[in-house]
Structure 1
Amino acid sequence: MPHTSDISALPILDLSLLDGSDSQRQRFLADLRHAARDVGFFYLTGHGIDADLLRQVQDHARQFFALPDSEKIAVGMINSPHFRGYNRAASEITRGKPDQREQFDLGAEREVLPLNPHSPLWARLQGPNQWPGSLPQIKPLLLDWQQAMTQMSLRLLRAFAEALSLPPNAFDRLYGDKPNEHIKLMRYPGQSSEASNQGVGAHKDSGFLSFLLQDQQAGLQVEIEEGRWIDALPRDNTLVVNIGELLELATNGYLRATVHRVQSPPEGVERLSIAFFLGAQLDAVVPLYPLPSVLLREARGPASDPHNPLLRDVGWNYLKGRLRSHPDVAQRFYADALIPHTLKALSA
């Protein structure tokens, strides 16, 4: 990989090379390691997700956002202690400012965990999704896509383990049978030149791996070096992949969780994107993995935001992010987590 000052576009990796010749496989693993360390973002081709399924997911996302406001509000996130459901534009906060996008959040479709007075606060995060009654086909479709993405992303994660000279199943125990699967449907309405262009403010993703399905409208930008941003322009038949903070933490900063943002489209234009986030089980604790010395010498240590520090306890780390991003849901369902000593413990 070139030095970051020479990078003007995201690298492109072909996952199908894992099934190629030994030389193709080794080249893919080397390219994967370098892309994830030097950039933290890349385009993924050969991912094996059916193109028709991807089109259907995009079509149904558009149908959802075209519903009357009353139907979307009926499945509002404010109804869910699990942070699932719909948010109007400017409802989610990034770095203290509202994001100009409307969105629909989904997670793994699981039963509510039994709770008692000693249950950790993050145990409230598990539970069912909300689904719009007038689009009954969207539930099986998105859950099918969620499972297809989970299988593909776990395959890629095992390739990461191999690229880092770890056992291929090194990360498996963090996931077990309950990975933290998160889908986000997002619509970015066009903004006038006088309005805020913060589609999403600059941030890092908090999980392990993130995958983005873009439409044809540009907007995603990656901070390749401090203060220098490049466009992650849409490319046909690709997913944009980026490293999350927990994978950076697990590799002592050898892999890079990169700051990124979305610029709002111009007035009269909209942008649709659909994200899948793979996270570990809520009760997992992320260890520091024993990388070989040749890689450890290049590890930079995790770059934690002092105002939003990383936690190795997955459930607490995820909850912390949700409380910051959705203060209305936090106030309704997690008022006991907002008292000063609890907030201090979450950041300790």
Structure 2
Amino acid sequence: MTSAATTVSLPVLDLSRLAGSDSDAEAFRVDLREATHNYGFFYLTGHGVPAHLIERVMATSRAFFALPEADKMAIENLQSPHFRGYTRVGGELTKGVVDWREQIDIGPERDAVPRDASTPDFMRLEGPNQWPSALPELQEVMTQWRDELNSVALRLMQAWALSLGADEHIFDEAFADKPFTLIKIVRYPGKSDPEPQQGVGAHKDSGVLTLLFVEPGKDGLQVEKDGDWIDAPPLDGAFVVNIGELLEVATDGYLKATVHRVISPLIGEDRISIPFFFGPALDATIPLLELPDTLHAPGITVDPENPIFTTYGENALKSRLRAHPDVAAIHHSDL
């Protein structure tokens, strides 16, 4: 794979077309299917998330990273068996290599699940978040953000189902009760190396789909396509959407989870990025679709070092344990 990015652009899809005429809605679903078959990534406009909420989310995220170090470290993720809270720069790994970023991880606000011999290991991920007492508005604004993006993600899942010849609501049951979402508020600080370094290493997402909002004017995301890297700079007001490994499983590889990475900014710059990972309940099994004869599925990607499980919680736990071995050592040494 070459290191330089090509000039190919990702597709741009307008979600508001779903509310138009029948022909507009059908055309959107075809474009959605083809974009995620050919690229696994696209830009989403017309999503209906209010501009004032986007502005507030970005401002509050900036305010969090501007807090004194002691206020951020008060909610360090090492204190959470559920992998929630603040991770210092260099505190997360991708494929064993340090990512140059700081972040806060926010999941669904729930009680921890009591454990006994019959409780699956992945249920350890359920539990409360850690919120900074120095910035109480963070909880309110990120709860609104999660609700808005849940709605967008469900509309996309129903559109995908129809585009693949399935019932519109085939995915609903897996997401209806206790969907497991993850919001990461990420800051990539500038680095003084002569060449840009790894903000996030090359990887695939383990869930179903990701909605990513990036600070306007801040490049860094790259998507793998046919052995090359495609730059995916932020598009004003749009989300970058990509599918995860579970949607690849559901379609027997017709839709592909795509490798992507983030390049760190150089010294004097930084970048705020907010991915929203949409997943079903931890104990849910993703439905396997029977595709029309016109769609030829090649089978899922086989990687002995990265097995893909049909139960979402197994994928999520695998991802958390690998990314945060320090949290795993403190709270989950038996795993």
Tell me what 1:61 maps to. 61
Shift of residue 143 of structure 1? Answer: 0.5
SS of 2:211's equivalent in the other structure is strand
Contact 2:188–2:265, Cα closer than 8 Å, also in 1? yes
Which of 300, 310, 323 is matched with 2:321 structurally? Answer: 323
Tell me what 1:22 maps to. 22
What letter corresponds to residue 222 of structure 2 in structure 1?
Q
Specify every segment of 5 or more residues in structure 2 that has no aligned partner in the other structure, as ranges. Answer: 1-5
Tell me what 1:313 maps to. 311
CA distance in 1, matches of 2:72, 2:27: 46
Tell me what 1:125 maps to. 125
Contact 2:183–2:276, Cα closer than 8 Å, also in 1? yes
- Counterparts of 1:43-192 in structure 2, within 5 Å, are 43-192=43-192
| Number of corresponding residues | 329
Specify every segment of 5 or more residues in structure 1 that has no aligned partner in the other structure, as ranges. Answer: 1-5, 338-348
Tell me what 1:3 maps to. none
SS of 1:210's equivalent in the other structure is strand
- Hey, which bits of structure 1, 4+ residues long, moved more than 3 A? none
What letter corresponds to residue 10 of structure 1 in structure 2?
L
SS of 1:294's equivalent in the other structure is coil
Tell me what 1:332 maps to. 330
Shift of residue 196 of structure 1? Answer: 6.4
Q: CA RMSD in A?
A: 1.3
Contact 2:7–2:231, Cα closer than 8 Å, also in 1? no
CA distance in 1, matches of 2:7, 2:115: 49
Identity of aligned residues (%): 50
How big is each residue's C-alpha offset from its partner over 1:281-322, in whole Å with a ceiling of 9 and x where there is no partner? 101122421111211x2x121114321211112111110111
What letter corresponds to residue 103 of structure 2 in structure 1?
Q
Q: Residue 189 and residue 197 in structure 1: after superposition, are their counterparts in 2 closer, same or farther (change >3 A)?
A: same
CA distance in 1, matches of 2:298, 2:249: 10
Contact 2:171–2:287, Cα closer than 8 Å, also in 1? no
Q: What is the TM-score of this pair, normalised by structure 1?
A: 0.92
Shift of residue 52 of structure 1? Answer: 0.6
CA distance in 1, matches of 2:73, 2:50: 31
Shift of residue 26 of structure 1? Answer: 1.2
Q: Does the alignment pair 1:218 with 2:219?
A: yes
What letter corresponds to residue 35 of structure 1 in structure 2?
A
How big is each residue's C-alpha offset from its partner over 1:50-106, in whole Å with a ceiling of 9 and x where there is no partner? 011011001000000111111111101111111111101111110110000001000
Tell me what 2:201 maps to. 201
How big is each residue's C-alpha offset from its partner over 1:15-69, in whole Å with a ceiling of 9 and x where there is no partner? 0000111111111111001001000000000001001101100100000011111
SS of 1:180's equivalent in the other structure is coil
Tell me what 2:3 maps to. none
Higher relative contact order (CA 8 A, sep 6+): 2
